[in-house]
A and B are shown apart, each in its own frame.
Chain A
């Protein structure tokens, strides 16, 4: 168990370092950073001043080591626009994004677990086909468009929910639903296939033979085994959802990390963009690590392999 954990942890650290390097390269290979910061109306003099002020005239490897050294300590420099530490900006916005991600994941689980179990129990019937259809529709739904349609229907016409902003819990309902749509298809399919596999196994036959109640068989014997992959995929999905929250936060003007990145991109505020990419990537890495560990704890067979 310990060896498994250490190995997995070492890989995660290596991936994190690679992502750090890529985040640095992202802003350097995509063109001259100083020209991008200066904007279209800048003179050659302005560009030189910026290059000097931000240390962009130093050799690339010096810039890289300097940036890496600071980034490892959680220092992402200062925002060009907000006149604040990047780390502070992200810390202030992170709760909103995390709330959105967790609300989205909760909605996705509440919808997809029962749907997946139902489809598995009624495998091959119209119920199963209807659930497959729901998953396909969810997969094809453009999230930003769904967001706008919900705004028109529930925000304007029915006036049940606020259209945009961050103020109260009600502001998280529509974005949460939209975000959940991206995770529902894969979670439903996985629950369904896991349940089908579990229900066909010997221990279910034994449980039936013992005369246990149908509900007890489904929940205690079937779902507990089917849930193992679902738990780990849910953690990975949360990482994906956090990464994809930029679109939804922009649509609903929800002031989380994604919205911050969006603002910073349109203002050429690259230290912030770089840091958000990094933080979201690190969150994803941490969540996949957690998923693997959860898997190992839940399913002892995986520890030794």
Chain B
């Protein structure tokens, strides 16, 4: 990874960027590998119930059993195996949501920023309207009406989280649409489609990558929140949010049952955010709002 320090104090930024980048990439990469290889690395079937061995503490705690590294849940399922499968759900939801919302948001944002005028007015209006809708509440209501499923969660989150993609795609497209290389492409007589896909998109891609990390982090957190409220990924799938929800009855007696999946969630989201923050620092732009 090459980094260029351009602004004053850039040396620090680059240093912190690299540090954050390494840690963030490490966490996300680790989670991705674990998610991909889940069936081969879990010690037990994450769905296998054993009612005689319920809420066994993790092996490193008092009363723990070396057979279950992170203990067992309220139905005697191996917590470590469930946690690993949970990484799968969070990663897949995060990536699919980013793709769905990215396609919607980038299309709208680029069109608005590129054409301006009435089209841009419409895009800005769509963004304003979207922002005024309480996302969690609407996602919950749709899940309640339709019955929740994995794909529904992806679809609802994708349809709700495109706003930041649109905002950033729009403003960056506006900045470059009148630059010389775009004008040069026009003069070369290429089609509008060519200008949009070969000149505009590649040049706003790094900004969009930062948004993608932010949205992925948000999607993972929202999926967990929806599953926690019982209207996200349906049981018995081991979503981290659902694990916390199922374990919360026991949290006052055995706090580790909520600490473990929550910490996993926190670390993964922190990793994604570190990655995004490092990218943003390297570019020296500020997209926070």
| B150 surroundings in chain A (CB, below 8 A) | none
- A156 interface contact, C-beta 8 A: yes
Q: Is the Cβ of A15 less than 8 Å from the Cβ of B266?
A: no
Q: Would you give the 0/1 interface string for B13-37, flagging 1 where the beta carbon is closer than 8 Å to chain A?
A: 0001000000000000000000000
Q: Using a CB-CB cutoff of 8 Å, which residues 237-282 of chain B contact chain A?
A: 241, 244, 248, 251-252, 255, 258-259, 262, 265-267, 269-270, 272-274, 277
- Verify B217–A233 contact, CB threshold 8 A: no
The answer to whether A277 and B265 touch across the interface, beta carbons within 8 angstroms, is no
B190 sits at the interface (CB 8 A): no
Check A145–B258 contact: CB distance below 8 A.
Answer: yes
Q: Are A142 and B289 in contact, CB atoms less than 8 angstroms apart?
A: no
Q: Which of B187-203 contact A (CB under 8 A)?
A: none
In whole angstroms, what is the CA distance A242 to B132 when docked? 11
Indicate if the CB atoms of A27 and B145 lie closer than 8 Å.
Answer: yes
- C-alpha gap A142/B264 in the complex (Å): 10
Q: How far, in Å, is A252 (CB) from chain B's closest CB? A: 12
A22-B228 contact, Cβ under 8 Å, with A142-B269, A145-B265, A152-B255: no
Q: Give the distance to chain B from A148, nearest Cβ to Cβ, in Å.
A: 5
Separation of A258 and B131 alpha carbons in the complex (Å): 18
Q: How many Cβ-Cβ contacts under 8 Å join chain A to chain B?
A: 151
Interface-side segment among B38-46, B77-85, B134-142, B167-175? B134-142
- Contact indicator A148/B140 (Cβ below 8 Å): no
Cβ contact within 8 Å between A149 and B144: no
Contact assessment for A19 and B132 in the assembled complex, using a CB-CB cutoff below 8 Å = yes
User: Which residues of A (220-238) have their CB < 8 Å from a CB of B?
Assistant: 233
User: A123-B9, A136-B270, A247-B229 in contact; A142/B144 too (CB < 8 A)?
Assistant: no
B261 to chain A, nearest CB (A): 8
Q: Of B128, B136, B251, which contacts A11 at CB under 8 A?
A: B128
Residue among A137, A145, A246, A265 with most chain B CB within 10 A:
A145
Is A68 positioned at the interface, with any CB of B under 8 Å from its CB?
Answer: no
Q: How far in angstroms is the closest Cβ of chain B from A184?
A: 12
Residues of A within 8 A of B145 (CB): 27, 30-31, 36, 270
A268–B136 Cα distance when bound, in Å, is 17
Tell me which of A132, A266, A282, A285 contacts B16 (CB under 8 A).
Answer: A132
| A243 x B289 contact (CB < 8 A) | no
A148 near B132 (CB under 8 angstroms)?
no
In contact, A266 and B136 (Cβ under 8 angstroms): no
Q: Verify B224–A284 contact, CB threshold 8 A.
A: no
Cβ distance A86 to chain B, nearest Cβ, rounded Å: 14
Our pick among B136, B248, B272 for the contact of A246 (Cβ within 8 Å) is B136
Given the interface pairs A26-B138, A265-B140, the reply to whether A144 lies near B129 with Cβ below 8 Å is no
Q: In chain A between 24 and 61, which residues have their CB closer than 8 angstroms to a CB of chain B?
A: 26-27, 30-31, 36
Contact of A244 among B128, B136, B244, B270 (CB under 8 A): B136
- Cα distance, A80 to B272, chains bound together (Å): 43
B137 pairs with A276, CB closer than 8 A:
yes
Q: A148 contacts B258, CB within 8 Å? A: yes
- Answer whether residue B12 sits at the interface, using C-beta atoms and an 8 A cutoff: yes
Q: Which residues of A contact B131 (CB under 8 A)?
A: 284, 288
A262 an interface residue at 8 Å Cβ cutoff?
Answer: yes
The total of chain A residues at the interface (CB under 8 A) is 59
Is the beta-carbon distance between A284 and B134 smaller than 8 angstroms? yes
**Residue in contact with A148 in the complex, picked from B16, B137, B262, CB distance below 8 Å:** B262
Contact, CB under 8 Å: A193 / B286: yes
With A15-B128, A246-B136, A265-B231 as known contacts, state yes or no: A129 contacts B16, CB within 8 Å. Answer: yes
Give Cα A139 to B214, complex, Å. Answer: 10
Task: Please measure, in the bound complex, the distance between the C-alpha atom of A233 and the C-alpha atom of B224, giving whole angstroms.
Answer: 26
* A277 with B137, Cβ < 8 A, contacts A136-B277, A152-B252, A284-B132 known: yes
Name which residue of chain A comes closest to B15, CB basis: A129
Q: Are B217 and A140 in contact (CB under 8 A)?
A: yes
B87, chain A: closest CB distance, angstroms:
15
B2 within 8 Å of A (CB atoms)? no
Query: Does any Cβ of B come within 8 Å of A295's Cβ?
Result: no
Residue pair B132, A140 in contact (C-beta under 8 Å): no
What are the 3 tightest A-B residue pairs by CB atom distance, in nearest-first order?
A243-B134, A145-B262, A140-B270
- Please list 20 pairs of residues, one from A and one from B, whose beta carbons are closer than 8 Å in the complex, sorted by A's number: A14-B125, A15-B128, A19-B133, A27-B145, A129-B16, A140-B269, A142-B262, A142-B266, A145-B224, A152-B252, A243-B136, A246-B140, A247-B136, A250-B229, A258-B137, A261-B137, A270-B145, A276-B137, A280-B134, A284-B134
Extra inter-chain contacts (12) besides given A11-B128, A243-B137, A270-B145, CB under 8 Å: A26-B141, A27-B141, A124-B12, A141-B266, A144-B229, A152-B255, A243-B135, A262-B229, A273-B141, A280-B137, A281-B132, A284-B134
Binding site for A on B (CB under 8 A): 9, 12, 16, 125, 128-129, 131-138, 140-142, 144-146, 217, 221, 224-225, 228-231, 241, 244, 248, 251-252, 255, 258-259, 262, 265-267, 269-270, 272-274, 277, 286, 288-289
